[in-house]
Amino acid sequence: MPIAGDQSEAFLAHIMDAQRAMYTYVLTLVGDLVAADDVLQETNLVLWRKREEFTPGTDFLSWALSVAHFQVLAYRKRRTRDRLAFNDELIDRLAAEAPQHAAELSPRRVALVRCMAKLSPEDRLLIEQRYATSQAVGQIAEQVGRTVNAVYTALNRIRTNLMRCIEQTLAEEVE
């Protein structure tokens, strides 16, 4: 049932604001893009169902990530061990570190926009094909007339360059 409009709107704003961080957190732990989407979807639903339990004024992201953590564990239980990217020990370590990184996305997002502007047109197109239209790498390879491996390598190079650029941009801002 809908709760009072104001409360729902406020809760909605919290969920919207937290999506990037929640996705990052989940992807960090599951290491699988499709699984991350599914777990995020389940987490959103659980958060909405539990909305009465959230106390306004408290740390929403922390609460949301704890819910996401349980959803990751539930996902791992469902999957056979051989289909999991990481073992429990690594998951525990990553889970302990991930909230901090997930919570620091905002400045990185601003830096990313600047760094994207520095990409060559070809690289920017590749990123857009991969992320904006969700095309499979094989599909992209066909379109650009390159091998699948070449596209993988190029995407990886671009992401690494963007990562370096973001770190550099953030470091310059601190100075």
Would you count residue 8 as binding other proteins (CB under 8 A)? yes
Continuous H helices in the chain = 5-30, 33-49, 60-78, 88-103, 105-117, 121-127, 137-144, 148-174
Would you count residue 171 as binding other proteins (CB under 8 A)? no
The H or E element containing residue 114 is helix 105-117
Q: How far is the CB of 152 from other proteins (least distance, A)?
A: 6
- Distance in angstroms (rounded) separating the CA atoms of residues 34 and 31: 9
For 104, list phi and psi in degrees, rounded to 5. Answer: -100, 25
Which residue, among 36, 16, 34, has the nearest Cα to 26 in the 3D structure?
A: 36
Q: Are 164 and 112 in contact (CB under 8 A)?
A: no
| Single-letter residue type at 170 | L
Q: Considering the complex, state which of residue 62 and residue 93 has its C-beta at the smaller distance from other proteins.
A: 93
Single out the segment in contact with other proteins by CB under 8 A; choices: 30-38, 60-68, 72-80: 30-38
Judged by CB under 8 A, the chain residues 74 through 133 that form the site for other proteins are 85-87, 89-90, 93-94, 97-98, 101, 104-105, 108-109, 112-113, 116, 127-128, 130-133
Single out the segment in contact with other proteins by CB under 8 A; choices: 14-22, 64-72, 73-81: 14-22
Q: Considering the complex, state which of residue 96 and residue 175 has its C-beta at the smaller distance from other proteins.
A: 96
Q: Residue 62 has what DSSP assignment?
A: H
- Distance in angstroms (rounded) separating the CA atoms of residues 65 and 25: 7
Q: In the complex, which residues of this chain contact other proteins (CB under 8 A)?
A: 1-5, 7-9, 12, 15-16, 19-20, 23-24, 27-28, 31-34, 37-38, 40-42, 44-45, 47-49, 52, 85-87, 89-90, 93-94, 97-98, 101, 104-105, 108-109, 112-113, 116, 127-128, 130-134, 137, 152-153, 155-156, 159-160, 162-163, 166-167
